[in-house]
Amino acid sequence: LIHFYKRSKVMLAKARLAEVLRRRSSEFIKLGRSASTLPANDDQFDFLSSFDIKAHQARYGNPQEVWVESLETVQPNFTGIRQLHQDVFAVYPRIDLIHKNVVWQTTYSKVNYAHAKTVREMIHYFGGGAKPWPQKRMGRARHGSIRSPQWKDGGKAHGPRGPKSFYHMIPYHTRVFGLTHTLTVKFIQDDIHVVKDLEIPTDDPDFIHEIISSRGWGKSTLVVDKDDIFPRNITAATDQIKHVNLMPLYGLNVLSMLKHHTLILTESAVEELTKKILFALNRTDSYARTGLSHCGPKPVDLKIEKHRPVV
C-alpha cells in the first residue's frame, strides 16, 4: 500500500510539472497580447484612424524637428523636415527605466532546467529502497538505503528542483516609458533617421553597404516600417546582411533598439508610433490595463463596455 502511494505521489509530481509547463507555454502565447505595450493593428473598431493628434500635439515645449530622407540614391538625399512629438522623442531620459526593460526582455522567457533527483526519485528510477544490511552486529555503519545523500549515486538533499521559469511582467507604464526613453536617447545621439519610404532602385546588397558608408550610419541598422510586408528590393538586399534588420512597428522593443546602432523609421511608422504612445499615455482605462500586467491576461467585465476588450 505504501509503495502504491509513493508511486502515485511521484506520478502526481510529474503530472503537476507537465501541467505547469503546459500552462506556462499557453501563457507565453497569450504573453504576446498582454506584453505588447502598443495596441494591436487588427483592432476591430479602428479608433486610431479617427484619433485627432492635434489636440495632444505640442502641449509643452517645442516639438523636435528631423530631416526626412530618401533611399533612392546612394548620396544623402533630404526631401523635407518633419516634426516629432516631445512626449515620444524628447523626454528627460532615465537610464534606470531602460535598464529595467532590457533586464525584463532578457529574463522573462528564461527557464532553468536544472533538476537534481531526491532520494525517493533515485529509488524510483534506480532502485535501492531496501535496507542494505541489518542495523546491528555487522560492524558497519547503519544505513536505510543505498540512495541517501552520503552515498555515491545517491539523491541530492537540497538541490535544484525542477524547471524554474523566470517569467515576470514589469508594469505597463514602465514598458511604455522604456520605449519613449530609448527613442529619446537615440534621437539625442543622432541615431534616428526618418525616411519617406523604403523604395530602393536595386536589390543588390552592395547598395545598402554604400548607403551606410556614405551617410555615416552605424555598424548595425534597424529598419522599422508600419506594416510587416516590406518592398521587394530592400528585403532581397538586406536578406544576406545580418546587421541590417527589417522590423514592423508592432515588434519595436528596447533591446532591439539598443542592439542596433541606428534606427531608421518611415514616416508612416513615426505617425503610427506617436498615436499609439499618446494613446498609451492618455488612456482612460489605464487601471484595467495595468491590472492585466499584474494579474495576467483575463477578460475585464466592465459594465458599460462588454464588447470592447482592453488591449
Partner 1 sequence: ALLKLDSLHLEMNVYRRGGHLLNRGFRHPVTSALQHRTYRENENFSFDWDKVPETLDKERKKFAQFSEIIGESRFSDTDLNIENIEYTATQNPGEWEHVQMLLDVVSPRLIPVPSPTEECSSGFFMPKVKPGSLPYFVRRNSNWLYPVYSKLRAEPSYPNTKFTVTNVKQIEGDIFRLKKDLDAFLFDRYKQEFIGQPNELMQKITYRGNLEKDCKDFLKSKGF
Is-contact 272 226, C-beta < 8 A? yes
Nearer to partner 1, 86 or 266 (CB): 86
When asked if residue 284 is in the footprint of partner 1 (CB under 8 A), the reply is yes
Which three cell numbers mark 260? 542596433
Q: What burial letters (b/e) apply to 298-309, b meaning 16+ CB within 10 Å? A: eeeeeeeeeeee
Exposed (0-12), middle (13-18) or buried (19+): which is 224, by Cβ within 10 Å?
Answer: buried
| Site stretch for partner 1 (CB under 8 A), options 6-14, 139-147, 228-236, 242-250 | 6-14
| Among 3, 60, 219, 229, interactor with partner 1 by CB under 8 A | 60
When asked if residue 235 is in the footprint of partner 1 (CB under 8 A), the reply is no
Looking up cell 493628434 gives 53
The amino acid present at 270, given as its one-letter code, is: V
When asked if residue 18 is in the footprint of partner 1 (CB under 8 A), the reply is no
Which three cell numbers mark 245? 534588420
Measure the CA–CA gap between 274 and 86, rounded to whole angstroms: 10
When asked if residue 47 is in the footprint of partner 1 (CB under 8 A), the reply is yes
| Among 7, 131, 164, 232, interactor with partner 1 by CB under 8 A | 164
When asked if residue 94 is in the footprint of partner 1 (CB under 8 A), the reply is yes
| Among 3, 29, 42, 45, interactor with partner 1 by CB under 8 A | 45
Minimum gap (Å) between residue 30 Cβ and partner 1: 13
SS3 of 35-68: the string is HCCCCCCCCCCCHHHHCCHHHHCCCCCCCEEEEE
| Among 129, 197, 285, 290, interactor with partner 1 by CB under 8 A | 285
When asked if residue 125 is in the footprint of partner 1 (CB under 8 A), the reply is no
Measure the CA–CA gap between 208 and 191, rounded to whole angstroms: 17
Minimum gap (Å) between residue 29 Cβ and partner 1: 17
| Among 15, 18, 20, 103, interactor with partner 1 by CB under 8 A | 20
What are residue 40's phi and psi, to 5 degrees? -70, 155
Nearer to partner 1, 75 or 284 (CB): 284
Q: Please report how the helices 286-295 and 172-188 are oriented relative to each other, as an axis angle in degrees rounded to 10.
A: 100
Measure the CA–CA gap between 254 and 258, rounded to whole angstroms: 6
Residues touching partner 1, count (CB under 8 A) = 48
| Among 42, 61, 150, 152, interactor with partner 1 by CB under 8 A | 61
Minimum gap (Å) between residue 192 Cβ and partner 1: 22
| Among 13, 102, 236, 241, interactor with partner 1 by CB under 8 A | 13
When asked if residue 120 is in the footprint of partner 1 (CB under 8 A), the reply is yes
Minimum gap (Å) between residue 151 Cβ and partner 1: 19
Looking up cell 503530472 gives 15
SS3 of 159-194: the string is CCCCCEECCCCCCHHHHHHHHHHHHHHHHHCCCEEE
When asked if residue 283 is in the footprint of partner 1 (CB under 8 A), the reply is yes
Measure the CA–CA gap between 152 and 27, rounded to whole angstroms: 40
Q: Which residues are at the interface with partner 1 (CB under 8 A)?
A: 1-2, 5-6, 9, 13, 16-17, 20, 45, 47, 51, 55-56, 60-61, 92, 94, 115, 120, 160-168, 278-279, 281-285, 291, 294-296, 298, 300-305, 308
